[in-house]
Amino acid sequence: MSIKTIIFDWAGTTVDYGCMAPVMAFKNAFAEKGIELTFDEIREPMGRLKRDHIAILLELPSVQEQWLAAFGQPSQASDIDALYERFEALLFEKLAENSTLKPDTAEVVSQLQAKGFKIGSTTGYTSEMMEVVTSVAKEAGYVPDYFVTPDTVGNLGRPYPYMIYQNMKHFKNTSVSEVVKVGDTVSDILEGKNAGVFTIGVVEGSSEVGLSLAEYNALSTINKEQLIEKVTRRFYEAGADLCILNLTELLDYFIHGKELTKHTSNFPQINA
């Protein structure tokens, strides 16, 4: 493959270690309605368009049961709208402080750009949300060459491939073989595979791991290894071509010449 464009996700991949901002906004928006969600339930659709994410959560049997008990009727389309409006308000309250770069983002992307790679990005955030996120990222030294939000492609966000195709159009890529997608959720993996591009799952700091940097560093070695294996397996089962621990490993492939090949076993070891 002759890679020219690398497309990154945002929260959980390049910023917001553990993808905390949207998770807490979803949890609190539902809690205000008297609906309790587990973190696993919230994270399952992570990476999707946020309004779609809310609709998926409302379809959960446990949520339907709680909603019926609280309001005496099933949730309606108007409830999706109301929850999304509250989610958005809660997210904006914490978005800036939860848009801190992950530890390796600025240095890795800087080296990739210096080598001539074009850096694109896709996200589940809206354009308005990204005004906040990109501003904080820029101050910390991360400026991708381009970003696409679901509302710029007719709200056909992940797992649809259109945000990736919009990046390809912007960079004038002639083939999907020139493009790599990097993300931290199953939705990211599906987006990449639906677009037909080589797709990489990043484990540390991901929504799939779901821990802050301090929480992750506090894990015992064995617990950390078990969590890495669990998330890696989940990415490969979703169709990922490669899994990496963190973004620094991208330098091995794109700068130091390590061969970028698809995995050949059901569960290869990271970096195998």
Which residues line the annotated binding site?
9, 11, 184
168 HSE (CA, 13 A, CB side): 19
Strand, helix or coil for residue 230: helix
Q: Which of 46, 5, 49 is nearest to 231 (CA)?
A: 46
252 is catalytic: no
Binding residues for Mg(2+): 9, 11, 184
Cβ neighbourhood burial of 269 (10 Å; 0-12, 13-18, 19+): exposed
Among residues 9, 104, 188, 241, the one annotated as catalytic is 9
Is the omega angle on the peptide bond into residue 159 within 30 degrees of 0, that is, cis?
yes
Structure tokens at 25: 């906004």
What separation in angstroms does the CA of 77 have from each of 54, 70, 71, 113? Answer: 11, 17, 14, 44
Q: What is the dihedral of CA 62, 67, 68, 72, to 10 degrees?
A: 170
Query: In terms of C-beta distances under 8 Å and separation of at least 24 residues, what long-range contacts does 263-270 make, across chains too?
Result: 263/236, 266/236, 267/232, 267/233, 267/236, 268/236, 270/203, 270/228, 270/232, 270/243, 270/244, 270/245
50 is catalytic: yes
Among residues 4, 16, 27, 50, the one annotated as catalytic is 50
Q: Which of 162, 138, 143, 139 is nearest to 152 (CA)?
A: 162
Q: Which of 198, 194, 196, 167 is nearest to 180 (CA)?
A: 198
Contact 272, 266 (CB under 8 A): no
Contact 233, 267 (CB under 8 A): yes
> Annotated active-site positions, please?
9, 50
